[in-house]
Chains A and B, each alone.
Chain A
C-alpha cells in the first residue's frame, strides 16, 4: 500500500502577494497584478504590459547564499521554499536532510544571465562576462540553490517543461514520496520576468495590450508574469504524527504529449492528461468540484481547453466551476501551475474558489462556468489543476480534501 501524500505548507511569490495569506486575500478580492513592464525598456515593442513582482526583497529570505550573485528565479524559489517551510510549521531539527528533496519546474531558468551575456556580446564587450555566467545561468541551479540555502541533501531535480513545469515537479515529488525514497519534498516552480520570453510572445502576437481576460469573447491574449510557488509535501502519516495542518491530499496526476505542434495546443493531448489523472486517482468527472484552468487568455488556448474539458467531463463540464487566476497574476510561466496547485489546495481548505476577473462578455465557444469576476463559496472536495506547455507537454494534477 503506497503512502498518501499531503500538502502541509504553501509558499508563494506573486505579483498580487508574497506569502500564502496576502496572496489568498488578493485572489479572493480579484486583485490584478498587471501593470506596465519596468524590468526592461519596452518602447520598441508593440505591447507594454506585464505582471512583475514589484515589492520583492531578497534580503528577507536569502541568508546563506550571496543574494547579489544568484539569479531572480533562484531568489524567488528560495523565498517560496522558506515561506512554505514556515507555513508548514516544521521543526527543521527533526528532519533528516538526506531524506528531504527539492524538485522545481521552470520555463527559462535564469534568463537574465543569458540576457546579460547577449547585451555584452552585441556591444562588443563579451570580455565583461565573467565566471558568474556559468555558475548562475544553467537552469538546474534553481533547485540546487534552494537545497544549498537550506542544507537539503536528498533528490534534487529541476524540470524545465516550460509552462506546465510546476505540475511536473509536483508530480515527480509525489512519485518520489510514494516510492519511500524521501520523508519530505519541497516541490513547485519558479520563473523570473524575461526579455527573451516577452519578445517571443510579442512576436507570436500572443500578448494582450491591456488586460488578461480568459474565456471572454473579446480576449486579446496572455500577459507574461513571474513568481514562484512551492509546496511542502509529506506522507499523510508523518503529517498526522506531527499534528501538521493539512491543506489537501495529492491523489494523482496525468502527463501526456500532443506530439503535434511546438506552440499550438491540441485538445486530445490535454484531454488525455485529464483522463490519466482521473483514472489513476479513481475519481469520476462528476466528483470534481473545481478546475483550475490553464486559462492563459489567448483566443486559441481558452477555446481548446474548453473543448478538452468538455471531452472529458461531458455534461458534468457545465456543472463544474473552472477559473483562471492568470486573469489576475498573468502567466508566471513555469511557476504558474505550482501556484495554481497551491490555489487548489487552498480552495479545498477554505471552501472558496477564486474568480476569473475581466470576464465581461461570454464567448459562445467558451460556455462553461468560469466563476466570473467574484470569488465563490464552494465546498471543494476534489480539485483538478490543468497546465499546458510549448512542446505539447500537458499535465493534470488532482487534489482532494482530507476527511477530518
Chain B
C-alpha cells in the first residue's frame, strides 16, 4: 500500500511577492521582478539585471529576534518556513509532539558566506575568521538553522542538483512519505542573489548580456533570448501523508501524484541526449502518476532564457505530447522571476497550486516571437483562463540533471 502525498501549505518569498497569492497575481499581471541589481555592484560585468527580493527583512516574518546567527539564505528559508507551517496548521505545539522534517534544495546555500569567511582569513589571518560564520559555511546551514528556529526534529536533508535542486528536494521528500518514514516534511528550496554566483554565471556566459550579445532578453523561448537573469528567493511546501492530513482536518491544496528524474551524461553538450533525458523524466513522472499526456492540463516549464536548454526542454515536451504539443498550455515563470536556482522548482509548484485555485495560468511575459519550428504553439505572453485539475512541472539543470513531477487537484 503506497501512501499518497498531499500539499497542505505553501510559503514563498520572491522578487514579485511574499505570499503565494501575491506572487501569483503579479505573474498573472505579467509584472517583472527583474531590475538593475542593487545588492552589489555589477560594474564591468556584461549583465546588470537580476530578480532581487528588495528590502527583505526577516523580522517582517519572524518578529524582533536575534538574526545575527543566520545569513541571508538562512533568513529567507526560516521566514518562508514560518509562512508554510502557519498556513498548513502545523502549530508550535503540534511540532513539539510530532516530528516535522525539512528537505531543502539549494545550489549554493551561501557561497557569499563561504567566500567572505575565507577572504577574511586570507586578509586578516586565520585567527580573525569568525567561528559563527564558519557554522554557516556548511552547505546544510540554512536547513540546520531553520530546523533550530522552528523546532523541526524530523529528517533534515539538503539536496543539491543545480537549478533542479528544489524540485529534486520535493521528490526526495515525496519518497520519504510514500515509504512511511516521515509523515510531514517541509520541502522546497532557496538560493540568494550574491556577487559570487552572479560573477561565476556571468563569466560562464550564461546570463543575458554576458556573452557579448546586445541587450538583455531573458525571455524563455523568445527568438531574441540570450541567457537568463539570476534571481533569488525561497519557496517551501508542507508535504504530508494524505491520511494524516485527513485525520487532522487540514485543507489539501493538491496531490503530488507522480515524479521522475534522469541525467544526461553528455551534460547538455549533446542535444539529442539532453532531450532524451528530459523526455525520460517526464515519462517516468507521468507513468508514476498513472496519467497520459492527454490528462495533463498545463506544463510549467523550467525554461529561463538559455538558448540551448529552452530548446531542448521544448523538444522533449513536444516528443511526449505528440500532436497535442500544438495546444498544450505552457507557462514559464522565470520570464518574470529570473532563474531562482534552488527556489525555482517549488515556485513553479506554488504557481500551479494557485492556478488550480483561481483558474488563471500566467503567460510568458514579453514573449514576442518564438524561434523557427518552435513546437509548443500555445506559448503566449497572455494569461489564460483554465480549469486546471492536473499539471506537469519540469526542472532542468544546465549541466545534465533534470526532474519532473505531476501535480493533481484533490476532489
Query: Which chain A residues have a beta carbon within 8 Å of chain B's beta carbons?
Result: 44-46, 97-98, 102, 106-109, 111, 114-115, 117-119, 121-122, 126, 129-131, 133-135, 137-141, 144, 147-148, 150-162, 168, 172, 175-176, 178-179, 195-197, 199-204, 255-263, 269, 272, 280, 389-393
Determine whether the beta carbon of A203 is less than 8 Å from that of B127.
Answer: yes
Leading 7 A-B pairs by shortest Cβ distance = A391-B144, A200-B134, A160-B139, A257-B156, A134-B200, A262-B135, A156-B263
For A257, what are the chain B residues with a Cβ–Cβ distance below 8 Å?
Answer: 101-102, 144, 147, 152-156
A161 surroundings in chain B (CB, below 8 A): 140, 143, 156-158
CB-CB < 8 A to A102: which residues of B? 263
- Asked if B249 is at the interface (CB within 8 A of a chain A CB), the reply is no
Contact yes or no, B111 A158, CB < 8 A:
no
Residues A179 and B129 in contact in the complex (CB < 8 Å), given A139-B160, A159-B158: no
A139 to B141, CA, bound (A): 14
On whether the beta carbons of A140 and B401 are closer than 8 Å, the reply is: yes
Known: A134-B197, A159-B158, A393-B156. 16 other contacts (CB 8 A): A44-B127, A129-B200, A129-B203, A134-B203, A137-B111, A152-B263, A152-B265, A160-B109, A160-B158, A161-B140, A179-B178, A199-B129, A200-B137, A203-B126, A255-B155, A257-B152
B138 at the interface (CB under 8 A from A): yes
**Is B345 located at the chain interface by the 8 A CB criterion?**
no
B204 touches A179 (CB 8 A): no
Q: Which of A46, A106, A107, A153 is within 8 Å of B263, CB to CB? A: A153
Taking the nearest CB of chain A, how far is it from the CB of B339, in angstroms? 12
| Residue B114 CB within 8 A of the other chain | yes
How many whole Å from B213's CB to the nearest CB in chain A? 16
- Is B231 part of the binding interface, using a Cβ–Cβ cutoff of 8 Å? no
Chain B min CB distance to A155 (Å): 6
Chain A residues within an 8 Å CB radius of B156: 161, 255-257, 259, 391-393
**Contacts A148-B267, A157-B172; A134 near B201 (Cβ below 8 A):** yes
Q: Which of A107, A131, A199 has a CB less than 8 Å from the CB of B203?
A: A131
Q: What are 13 A-B residue pairs whose CB atoms fall within 8 Å in the complex?
A: A109-B160, A118-B118, A140-B161, A141-B399, A155-B261, A156-B401, A157-B168, A159-B158, A160-B109, A204-B134, A260-B148, A262-B145, A393-B144
Mask: chain B, 186-209; 1 = CB below 8 Å from A; 0 = not: 000000000011011101111000
Q: How far is the CA of A114 from the CA of B112 in the complex (A)?
A: 10
For A140, give its contact among B118, B165, B181 (CB under 8 Å): B165
How far is A138 from B115 in the complex, measured between Cα atoms in Å? 13
Report the Cα distance A148→B119, complex, angstroms.
32
CA distance A156 to B281 in the complex (A): 12
Looking at the assembled complex, report how far the CB atom of B143 sits from the nearest CB atom of chain A, in whole angstroms.
6
Contact of B117 with A by CB under 8 A: yes
Cβ–Cβ contact B138 & A162, under 8 A = yes
Contacts of B134 in A (CB 8 A): 199-201, 203-204, 263
Q: How far is the CA of A260 from the CA of B161 in the complex (A)?
A: 27
* A153 CB contacts on chain B under 8 angstroms: 262-265, 277, 280
In the complex, which residues of chain B have a beta carbon less than 8 angstroms from the beta carbon of A259?
Answer: 147-148, 150-153, 156
Q: Do residues B179 and A175 form an inter-chain contact, with CB atoms below 8 A? A: yes
The answer to whether the Cβ of B63 comes within 8 Å of any Cβ in the partner chain is no
Within 8 Å CB of B162, what residues of A?
A: 138, 140, 144
Chain B residue nearest in CB terms to A393 = B156
Whether, in the assembled complex, B159 has its beta carbon less than 8 Å from a beta carbon of chain A, the answer is: yes
CB <8 Å contact, B131 and A200: yes
Residues of B within 8 A of A46 (CB): 127
Does A156 lie within 8 Å of B261, measured CB to CB? yes
Q: Is B1 close to A, CB under 8 A?
A: no
Bound form: Cα–Cα A162–B134 in Å: 12
Inter-chain CA distance A261–B145, complex, in Å, is 8
- Least CB distance from A283 to B in Å reads 17
Given known pairs A114-B111, A148-B400, the reply for A159 and B159 (CB within 8 Å) is yes
Closest Cβ of chain A to B221, distance in Å, is 24
Q: Closest Cβ of chain A: how far from B117's Cβ, in Å?
A: 7
Given known A98-B262, A195-B118, contact A162–B139 (CB-CB < 8 A): yes
What's the minimum C-beta distance from A272 to chain B, rounded to whole angstroms?
8
- Which residues of chain A are near B203, meaning CB under 8 Å? 129-131, 133-134
> With A157-B160, A199-B118 given, is the CB distance from A269 to B153 under 8 Å?
yes
Which residue on B lies nearest to A138, using beta carbons?
A: B107
CA distance A98 to B141 in the complex (A): 33
The CB with the most chain A CB atoms within 10 A, among B127, B160, B203, B266, is that of B160
Q: How far is the CA of A133 from the CA of B205 in the complex (A)?
A: 12
B130 on interface, CB distance cutoff 8 Å: yes
B86 CB-CB contact with A under 8 Å: no
Q: Any chain A CB within 8 A of the CB of B108?
A: yes
Residue among A115, A138, A154, A202 facing the most chain B CB atoms (10 A cut-off): A138
Most buried by A among B107, B127, B144: B144
Contacts of B148 in A (CB 8 A): 259-262, 392
- Scan residues 261-283 of chain B and give those whose CB is less than 8 A from a CB of chain A: 261-267, 277, 280
Q: Which residue of B lies closest to A394 (CB)?
A: B156
B328 → chain A, closest Cβ, in Å? 25
Q: Is B94 an interface residue (CB 8 A)?
A: no
Contacts of A159 in B (CB 8 A): 157-160
By a CB distance below 8 angstroms, the chain B residues around A117 are 115, 196, 200
Question: Chain B residues with Cβ under 8 A from A390's Cβ?
Answer: 135, 138, 140-141, 144
- Provide the residues of chain B in CB contact with A140, threshold 8 Å: 107, 160-162, 165, 397, 401
Contacts of A269 in B (CB 8 A): 153
Query: In the bound complex, what is the Cα–Cα distance between A257 and B265 (angstroms)?
Result: 34
Q: Counting chain B CB atoms within 10 Å of each CB, which of A121, A195, A261, A269 scores highest?
A: A121
Using a CB-CB cutoff of 8 Å, which residues 195-254 of chain B contact chain A? 196-197, 199-201, 203-206
- The listed residue with most B CB atoms (<10 A of its CB), out of A102, A144, A168, A201, is A144
Q: Contact between A129 and B157 (Cβ–Cβ < 8 Å)?
A: no
| A106 to B, closest residue via Cβ | B139
Interface presence of B410 (CB below 8 A): no
